Amino acid sequence: MDSISIVGEKALHGRVGVAGAKNACLALMPAALLSEHPLTLTNVPRLSDIGTMTRLMRSLGAEVSSIQEGKVLAISAYRISHSRADYDIVRRMRASILVLGPLLARTGKAIVSLPGGCAIGARPVDLHLSALEALGAKLDLAEGYVTAVANGGLNGARIEFPFPSVGATETAIMAASLARGTTAIVNAAREPEIVDLANCLNKMGAKISGAGRNVIEVEGTDSLNGATHQVIADRIELGTYMIASAITGGEIELVGGRREFIGAFAEKLEQAGVEIADTADGIRVARNSMIGAVDIETAPYPGFPTDLQAQMMSMLTIADGKSVLEEKIFENRFMHVPELARLGASIELSGGTATVTGVQKLKGAPVMATDLRASASLILAALAAEGTSVVRRVYHLDRGYEQMVEKLSACGASIERFSE
Ligand code: UD1
């Protein structure tokens, strides 16, 4: 198992290229199942989650060709030979559930293993299922699998979500694209990845309007074409490197980074005293003063992203004062807290609220990564800590960060990956 060792307290300076968005790509790949014509995705991040989705797509009969070392994926679902997504793959990644909608819409049947719980809370899929039911699917849950059938095809309907779930909105958009008639998705998620999916589907001939707003309308079509689509930049990777610059008191230019998609996060960074400037190629992030304490509440987009809560917490562990972080999207998304405490952070947990009292210095220690974003928060904290830290179980990191060690060392970090 690989670990990462970091000698901290080095201000980072340099340029980092922002990769394509993992979460956009994990919805765009299943969208290829909606058409018998190929979908080519460019700006694909090279991550283990993309590898998992590739395996899942292949297991259904899709051909996935990796071009330019994986930066481009050509996916052809001309023939779908299996309608069953097995537990063995689905258990590795919750986003596997995103094949359910397109598989059902295209072939009239889908059997998908339920993803089950994971490290950051229960995360059920009931909203995905109720959306498909509203479109006329018959569902059966047995032995850990959901079987969805729509013999005469799906029919457009009004789907109203009690909560703007990202994944369920994606399921609904994809399934409704091949349904008969019009679908209205009310209280839809508004994340940039939803807009990216809708843009790609529209290139394939779908008729989707309102993506990025509360209500999305989808006029179903009989079939979809192929397309070529460039995946948007990863706003979570962007935010993580913005904190790498801020936490070390350095200056990093994020090439391809746009402030537009990280508004709420950027505002909080600025409140904490971090300087953010637009450049010709992206944005530049620098910190020249003490980090100020700020309060955070995670929320659906355009609010503060839950996927940056752990990283932000790392930065606030060395802020001047007390910060209160409220996690409103996932229960149990504070697995990084005891590990940050090992590095000397002072954090009090009470339900979904973490109160962080800034300390003058973090101190290097061995720590263990528990999930993707928690791993990133430990790397960030270690970059600021005095002495050496070793972060174990970094396979979590490989799910969502392309070449993190290389990117950080190019900015002057003393960081090394090794096998134990
Ligand atoms: C996506 C992102 C993930 C991010 C999250 C919230 C991908 C691949 N992953 O996850 O990185 O943290 O959005 O921004 O895009 N819920 C239900 N029932 C459902 C679906 C969700 O109760 O059927 C709940 C979840 O348990 C959670 C909340 O809704 O508490 C948010 O989940 P959702 O927006 O669906 O997140 P994901 O699509 O899983």
Encode pLDDT of 368-390 as tens digits.
998 999 999 999 999 999 999 99
Residue nearest to atom 37 of ligand 1 (CA): 167
Q: Which of 165, 308, 375 has most ligand 1 atoms within 8 Å of its beta carbon, as the pocket-test mutant?
A: 165
Whether 173 has a pLDDT exceeding 70, the answer reads yes
CB 48 within 8 A of CB 395: yes
The structure tokens listed for 44 are: 């694909």
How distant, in Å, are the alpha carbons of 38, 193, 236, 275, 307 from that of 204?
10, 17, 27, 40, 30
* Mean pLDDT (whole number) for 383-408: 96
Q: Ligand 1 centre from 130 Cα, in Å? A: 15
Q: Ligand 1 centre from 166 Cα, in Å? A: 6
Q: Which of 48, 170, 174, 329 has most ligand 1 atoms within 8 Å of its beta carbon, as the pocket-test mutant?
A: 329
Look-up of token digits 């999207």:
329
pLDDT at 331: 85
Half-sphere exposure of 240 (CA within 13 A, CB side): 31
Q: Tell me if 330 CB under 6 Å of ligand 1.
A: yes
Tell me how far apart the alpha carbons of residues 409 and 420 are, in angstroms, rounded to a whole number: 21
Whether 317 has a pLDDT exceeding 50, the answer reads yes
The structure tokens listed for 324 are: 């209160």
The structure tokens listed for 130 are: 């109720």
pLDDT at 120: 47
pLDDT band at residue 332 under the 50/70/90 scheme: confident
Of the two residues 142 and 183, the one the predictor is more confident about is 183
* Per-residue pLDDT tens digits for 130-139: 999 999 999 9
Residue nearest to atom 1 of ligand 1 (CA): 166
The structure tokens listed for 290 are: 């003490």
Whether 121 has a pLDDT exceeding 70, the answer reads no
Q: Ligand 1 centre from 189 Cα, in Å? A: 10
* Mean pLDDT (whole number) for 46-61: 96
Q: Tell me if 95 CB under 6 Å of ligand 1.
A: yes
Half-sphere exposure of 107 (CA within 13 A, CB side): 22
pLDDT at 115: 81
Whether 122 has a pLDDT exceeding 60, the answer reads no
* Per-residue pLDDT tens digits for 213-236: 999 999 999 999 999 999 999 999
**What integer best gives the mean pLDDT of the chain?**
96
CA of 193, closest atom in ligand 1: 15
Whether 101 has a pLDDT exceeding 90, the answer reads yes
Q: Which of 26, 163, 190 has most ligand 1 atoms within 8 Å of its beta carbon, as the pocket-test mutant?
A: 163
Tell me how far apart the alpha carbons of residues 200 and 226 are, in angstroms, rounded to a whole number: 10
pLDDT band at residue 272 under the 50/70/90 scheme: very high
pTM above 0.95, yes or no: yes
Residue nearest to atom 13 of ligand 1 (CA): 166
Tell me how far apart the alpha carbons of residues 32 and 290 are, in angstroms, rounded to a whole number: 48
Establish whether 200 is a catalytic residue.
no
CA of 121, closest atom in ligand 1: 26
* Per-residue pLDDT tens digits for 38-50: 999 999 999 999 9
The percent of residues in the chain predicted with pLDDT above 70, rounded, is 98
Q: Ligand 1 centre from 306 Cα, in Å? A: 10
Query: At what angle are helices 309-316 and 235-247 packed, to 10 degrees?
Result: 10
Q: Tell me if 301 CB under 6 Å of ligand 1.
A: no
Largest CA distance in the chain: 65
Q: Ligand 1 centre from 176 Cα, in Å? A: 20
* Mean pLDDT (whole number) for 318-346: 96
